Amino acid sequence: MPKPRDLRARVALFFAAFGALLSLVLALVVYQAAHDLGRRLIDETLSAELDDYLARRERNPKSLPPSTMVLQGYVHGEGDSGEVPAYLADLPLGWHDVAVDKLAYRVAIIERGGTRFYMLHDAALQMRREERFMLFLGIVVLAATLLSALGGVWIARAVLAPLSDLTARVRQSSAEGDDRPLADDFSEGEIGELARVFDRHLLRMRAFIERERAFNGDMSHELRTSLAVILSAAEILLEDATLTDRQKLRVRRMERAARDMAELGTALLLMAREESAFGVTGGCVVADVIEHAVDRHRHLLASKQVQVEMRLDGSLELATDPALLDILVGNLIRNAFSYTATGSVVIRQDSHGFTVADTGRGMSEQVARQAFVRHFRDMTSMGAGIGLSLVKRICDQQGWQVHLESDENVGTSVSVRFQ
């Protein structure tokens, strides 16, 4: 049976188990004491009856042994014609418990002057009393267990009240706020020490958040500024008529690399934010994002015999950051264009999601299982192993599902489901 994780439940369960065990032990002790007392009373009754009968027999040798509903006596010796039941004949001297069919007897056997005297006491009544007493003790054990559980709940509520108050304060504390230290209200004992630990962690968390915000802000500004300079320079160079076609090709590669860097930086900065910080104000049309990504990466197919087929549903809008969706779609399309030498790339999009399928070189089963692992790349990959892991992180953050199927030398299909 698994242990409950809730402290109150654990305390209540402990008290219930302790109360049940204690009451059960006490019940067994009381029952055994009552059983021994009952047997001792019966034995004393048999002894008294034997002494009384022996005294009467001395006065009158022909006196008959007692024969009542509870007591039955027998005599076996010279001059006594009474028959002793077979179940008594072989018993030695002393005290015995004898069961005959459904009857139970306590038997005392003594010998005087070569004559044996048997005295039986019907134990059925005593056994019924013990059964009723055992039932009563069982009810007492159950009642004690229930009371222990209720007492455990009350004690747990009283004992854990400071911890509950600390939990509520911690729940209300904000990592970005400047609340009063928890130790001010919980200054003693283990709860006070726990409050001080929480205070230290909150201070470290707030300091980390401030450093992270400063880094993201500075990095975003500096990175965007540098990339803007590179893109502006590339744009000016492309308008220079004195450049040869070979030089313009290199400048375009620089421009694309700078734009890819800008997209990756934007994605990483967006992923570093909390979900509530996205600030989505409207929806983005998925089909428009896909078309834009295809046009932006079509240069990768310039020297290839690859046909691009798109089946898009322009009615699907998502309430998400367009930059994140563009990065997700762009990574999948760039991979499909980059690793497909001949054949086709088919992009299907409906009201539930989209799929990018290609006839490229595909992946082995082992590589496909690790495709979404960050920085994983096989020996033939040209990338840094960031694209698919970034796709997986975006999907996980947005609550989408991504599924990859690939066969080596056949092709790869990646599906993203928004619902």
Model pLDDT for residues 94-122, shown as the tens digit of each residue: 999 888 888 888 999 999 888 889 999 98
Residues 137, 193: one domain?
no
**Same domain assignment for residues 410 and 375:** yes
**Torsion (CA) 130, 131, 137, 142 in degrees, nearest 10:** 170
Residues 13 and 153 both lie in one domain = yes
Same domain, 73 and 193: no
Domain co-membership, 296 together with 232: no
Flag whether 333 is in a domain.
yes
Residues 246 and 287 in one domain: no
* 266 and 151 in a common domain: no
Region 170-191 average pLDDT: 72
* Residue 357: closest CA among 307, 391, 298: 307
Domain carrying residue 382? 280-417
- pLDDT digits over 336-370, tens only? 998 899 999 999 999 899 999 999 988 888 888 88
Whole-model pTM over 0.75: no
Number of CB atoms found within 10 A of residue 245's CB? 7
Do 65 and 112 lie in one domain? The reply is yes
Looking at the structure, tell me whether residues 44 and 152 fall in a common domain.
Answer: yes
Closest to 170 measured CA to CA, from 199, 148, 193: 199
CATH number at residue 294: 3.30.565.10
b/e burial code for range 255-277 (CB count within 10 A of at least 16 → b): beebeeebbbebbbbbeeeeeee
Q: Residue 88: inside a domain, yes or no?
A: yes
166, part of any domain: no
Looking at 236, 251, 273, which one is the last position of a domain? 273
pLDDT above 70: percentage of residues in the chain:
87
Structural domain contains residue 266: yes
Question: Which of 255, 273, 291 marks a domain boundary?
Answer: 273
Phi-psi region of 234 (alpha: psi -120 to 50; beta: other; left: phi over 0): alpha
- Domain membership of residue 213 (yes or no) is yes
- pLDDT number for residue 384: 47
Q: How many domains does the chain have?
A: 3
- Per-chain mean pLDDT for the chain: 83
Residue 390 in any domain: the answer is: yes
Q: Which of 273, 306, 339 is the last residue of a domain?
A: 273
Verify that 79 and 205 share a domain, yes or no: no
Residue 287 shares a structural domain with residue 266:
no
Same domain, 113 and 230: no
Judge whether 167 lies within some domain: no
User: Could you tell me if residue 165 is inside a domain?
Assistant: no
CA 225 to chain centre: 48
**What number is the average pLDDT over the span 376-389?**
60
